Amino acid sequence: MEQAQPKNVKFQDTLVLPLDSLDPTLLELVGGKAANLGELIHSGFSVPPGFCLTTAAYTLVSAELAPILEELSAAKAGNSARLTELAANARTALLQTPLPVQVIDAVTQAYHSLSKGTSVPVAVRSSATTEDLPSASFAGQYQTFLNVIGIEAVLSAIRQCWASLWDERAVIYRQSLGIDPRSVQVAVVIQQLVEAQVAGVIFTANPLTGKRRQSVIDASGGLGEAVVSGTTNPDHFMVNTPTGQILERRLGDKRVAIHSKAGGGTERIELPQGEELTACLSDPQLQALARLGGEIEARFGVPQDIEWAFDQDQHLWILQTRPITTLFPLPLADDTSPGDENLRVYLSFNVQQGTSRPFTPMGTSAIRLLASVITTLIGYPPSSPLEGPPFINETAFRIFFDVTNALRTRIGRNLLSNILAQAEAQASLTFQQLASDPRLSLKPGRKLPLLLAVRRLLLSTRLPLYLPLTLLSPRFAQTRFLRFIEELRITNQPGIEATSADGYLLQLEQLFSKATPRLVSRSAPVMLGSLATFQLATCLLGKLATESELQTVVRGAPYNPTTEMNLALWSLAEEVQAEEATAHLVSNTSPTHLAEDYHQNSLPPILQTGIARFLATYGHRAIAELDLGLPRWSEDPTYVFSILSSFLQLKESGSIGDGEFQSAVTEAEAMIRELSHRAKHQNWWRGLVVNFCLRRARALSGLREMPRFALTLLLAQTRTLLWPVGEKLAHQGHLEKADDIFFLTLPEAHIALAGTDMRTVVSLRRSDYEQELTRRHIPLVLLSDGTEPVLESLGTGSAPAGVLQGTAASAGRLTGRARVIFDPTDAQLVPGEILVAPTTDPGWTPLFLSAGGLVMETGGAMSHGAIVAREYGIPAVVGVPGATSRIVTGRQITVDGSAGTVFLEQNQQ
C-alpha cells in the first residue's frame, strides 16, 4: 500500500502558510514556535490570526552563509571569541543579502489578506527549527518585533529575525548542545497584534522547584514584553492548578510598562511612584489562567512556559507556548496525575549503577526482563515478563525504580537505608529524611508475604548452604563464578530453536530465564557475606579503629575482575613498551585508526595478539556496559587503544602505575594484623573473630565486582543474539539498518517481525536519544510531584565556604589540578590530576591508574569507583552534590579521602 506523503513534503517549497494550517509535522518547515501555535489553534485555544513565512524563504537567502557555517561547525565550543566573530559575520551577510522578489510578493499578499487592505499592527517573531522544543527552548534568544505597521516595516523585521538566528548567545548555546549550525533553519511568524491591557507569562510547573500542578504567573499592565524582558518588576502569583487555590501573591511595583506607539514600534513608559500597589489580575483571572495553562500542558504532554494577554475587552489570548526544558521529565502517569497526595519516590538505576548516560530502548527492555526473572524467583511474577514488574519506570531514556511501597513499611525503610548506606550514601540519607514526610506515612504491613518471599529466595539460591561455604572459602565462591562465566561464554551459539529471527528472540528470553537465577545464586552469598563480616568486625572493634583504617583493610582486594582487567591492560602496555616501533605506533596513531587496523588483523604481532587476548577475557565490557544497546569493546576497541596509549605515557613519565596496587595489598595485610592485635587486647576470642571477619571481608570485597562482570557478559551474549534479528528486519525494510534493533524494545521487536514498519519510530527515538546525551544532571532521587529532595545534612549548605562535603571513600590527602570529565570515551587525563565526575562505572576505572585522586557526585564507600580507588591507593571522596558544577577543570583542589571533604582554593572562588 502506498504511504501518504508527510505534510512537510507536500509544503516543502511553500513560502507562506496560514497559522491555522500548521501542526508539529511541519516543524522543519515552520519552526517550533509556529508549529506550537498551529497546534493551539487546532485544539481550540484563542490565538491571534496570522501566517508563517517558512524556512523555504530563509533557504533562498542563506546560500551566502555556507562558508561561514562550515567554519562554525569546525569551531570548538569553548572558543567563544571565534564563535562571536563568526556569528557577527553571518548576521552581516544576511542583512546585506537582497530579499528575493518571490519572498516579497508572498509576504505582501499574506499581509494584505490579514489586514484586509489596511496597515494593521502585527507582531513579527522568529520561529527556528531548534526553538521551543522539549529538549531546547532558546527562550529569549531570537528576535521579536511588536507593533509593526506596513509591509515595508514587516519585511525589515523579517530580515532582522533571520539575522537573530546568528546572535552570539544563540550560536554558543547551540554549540553547547552539539547542534550542527548547518542544520539550523528559521521561519518567521507574523500575527495580528493584541493590544494588551495586562499580559505576562505562566509556567504550568514551578520552574525553581520542579513541582508540578503549581502554576507560577507573572503579570504587568501593557504588552507582555515588559515581563518577558525583565524591564519591570511584575506581580507574582502561585496557584494550585487542580484546586485554583492561590498559594502566593506578591505585588511588584510595576513602574515600567511597554505600550504600542503611534506609527509603529513600542515605547517604554515610566509610571509615577508613591501610588498604592494593586494587583493587575483578579482572582477569577488567575484561576482562569491556571486552568488554561493546565489544559495546554495536557495537550502538549509536558509543562509549558506560556505567554498570554488580556485585551481591552478582557478576552484571553495565547501568544506562544514552549516546553519548560529545565525540568527533568516525570513518568507520564505522574506528569498527568490530578494531584500529589499519593506521592511516589523514584531511585535512579542509572546513577546508582554509575552511569548518567541514557539507556537505549533495548537496554531498558533487557533490564525489565532481568527484573521479571528476579521477582519471579521470590514469588511475584509480573503479568508480562517483557514489560517487567510495575516498580520499573522510564523517563528521559533513564530507568527509575519506584521504591514508594518499600518506604511505607518499616522493614522496607531499614532495608533500603542499610543496603544503600555503603553503595549510595546520598540516597540512603535522602530516604531517612523522607521518612518524616506525612505523604509517606507508614502503612500496616503483613509479615507473612515477606517471610514467604525470603523463604523462596533462600530456597532458590540455596543460600543456607552456599553462605557458610563462601565464608569458609572465598576461593570456592570465585570458582563457582568462574565456572558460570565460562558456561556463559558459549551460550551465544545458536540453539536448535534459533532457525529464524523469532527463534533468536526466544533463545534470548530463555537465556535470561535460565542464567539469571544462577547469577543470583552466586551473588547472594558474596554480597551478604561481605556486608555481614565487615559490619561485624566494625562493631567488635568499635572505637579501636577509624573509618580510614577500616577502608585500608579492603585495599588491594583479591578476586576483583575490574582491577584484574586494568592490570591486564597495564601488563600489555609493558609488553608494547619493550618493542620500540610498536610503542611509537600506539603513541602516534589515533585510537580509531588502531581499532580499524585490529579488525583488519594488520597490527604488529605483539599488539594484535595482545589485544585479542585482552578482548577474549574483557571484550564484553564497555562504558555504560549495563546498556546492552551500546557496542562492546570487542566490537569497537577504540577506547581500549586510547587507554593503552595513556598507559604508555604513564610509563614514559615514570609514574608508578600498578605498583600502587601491590603497595595496597601490603598495607591491607598489615592493617588486618594491627586491628586484630588491638582487638586481642580486649580478649583473645574478639581478636580471633575480628581477624577472621576482616580477612573474609577483604576477600569478598573483590568478589563483589564479580556479579557485575558476569551480568555484563550475559548482556553481551544477548546482544549477539539480537544482531540477526536486526539484520532480518533491515532486509525486510522494517528497519533502516541492523543496529536499529537496539532502539526497539523486545515486545516491539516481535511486532516488527510480524510485519510492522518501525523506521519512523526508530528515527524519532534516535533524535531524542541524541538530545538526552547532552543532559548533564540526572536526579538520584526524584519525587512524583516533580521535586528533587535536597539533603539537609550533606552538601554545600552544611559545609564552610570553599569546602564540599561528601563520603570518605579512600584514605589519603592530595592537592592537585582538577579535571572534570562527563564521558571517559575521549577523556585526556594528565597523570596526577584529580578526576571529578558525576559518577563512574567499571568502564571508567582504567583512568584511575592515571588519576591522583577522585571526586564523584554520587556513590558510597562500596560503590564501584570507591572500591577501585582504594585498590590503587588514590584518595577519593564520593557523594559530593554539585561537584561537577562547583569544580572547574584546572582548579586547584585538595581531596581528603579520610574526612570526606574537598577543599577549593579560596583565591579561585
Three-state secondary structure string covering 141-207: CCCEEEEECCHHHHHHHHHHHHHHCCCHHHHHHHHHCCCCHHHCCEEEEEEECCCEEEEEEEEEECC
Three-state secondary structure string covering 164-182: HCCCHHHHHHHHHCCCCHH
530 secondary structure, DSSP code: H
Least confident range from 413-427, 752-766, 816-830: namely 413-427
DSSP 338-380: S-SSS--EEEEHHHHTT--SPPPHHHHHHHHHHHHHHHHHTT-
Q: What pLDDT does residue 7 have?
A: 42
- Summarised one tens digit per residue, pLDDT across range 688-707 is 999 999 999 999 988 989 99
Average pLDDT, the chain: 87
CA–CA separation, 839 and 829 (whole Å)? 16
CA–CA separation, 881 and 790 (whole Å)? 10
Task: Report how far apart, in Å, the C-alpha atoms of 79 and of each of 72, 76, 84, 143 are.
Answer: 11, 6, 9, 24
Nearest to 497 by CA among 479, 480, 510: 510
Beta bridge partners of 398: 395
- Summarised one tens digit per residue, pLDDT across range 563-590 is 899 999 999 999 999 999 999 999 999 9
| pLDDT tops 50 at residue 137 | no
Least confident range from 212-216, 262-266, 408-412: namely 262-266
453 confidence band (pLDDT: 50, 70, 90): confident
- What lies within 8 Å, CB to CB, of 157 at 6+ separation is 124, 143, 145, 148, 188
534 confidence band (pLDDT: 50, 70, 90): very high
In the numeric block, the cell 496560514 is attached to 18
Instruction: Count the alpha carbons within 13 Å of 609 in the hemisphere toward its beta carbon.
Output: 3
Between residues 711 and 178, which one has the greater pLDDT?
711
Average pLDDT for residues 513-533, to the nearest whole number? 94
Q: What pLDDT does residue 753 have?
A: 95
> Rounded to 5, what percent of the chain is helix, strand, coil?
50, 15, 35
Q: What pLDDT does residue 5 have?
A: 38
Give yes or no for a contact between 737 and 517, defined as CB atoms under 8 angstroms apart: no
- Summarised one tens digit per residue, pLDDT across range 87-121 is 888 888 888 888 999 999 999 999 999 988 788 99
Tell me the Cα Rg of the chain: 31
Full-model pTM? 0.86
| pLDDT tops 80 at residue 194 | yes
| pLDDT tops 90 at residue 740 | yes
| pLDDT tops 90 at residue 81 | no
247 confidence band (pLDDT: 50, 70, 90): very high
Least confident range from 301-315, 442-456, 493-507, 649-663: namely 649-663
CA–CA separation, 384 and 371 (whole Å)? 11
Average pLDDT for residues 708-729, to the nearest whole number? 95
CA–CA separation, 694 and 646 (whole Å)? 35
Q: What pLDDT does residue 77 have?
A: 60
Average pLDDT for residues 255-273, to the nearest whole number? 72
DSSP 667-682: HHHHHHHHHHHHHHHH
Average pLDDT for residues 264-290, to the nearest whole number? 80
- Summarised one tens digit per residue, pLDDT across range 818-847 is 999 998 887 888 888 999 999 888 888 888
CB burial of residue 899 (10 Å; 0-12, 13-18, 19+): middle
- What lies within 8 Å, CB to CB, of 18 at 6+ separation is 50, 51, 52, 110
Q: What pLDDT does residue 793 have?
A: 52
| pLDDT tops 60 at residue 789 | yes
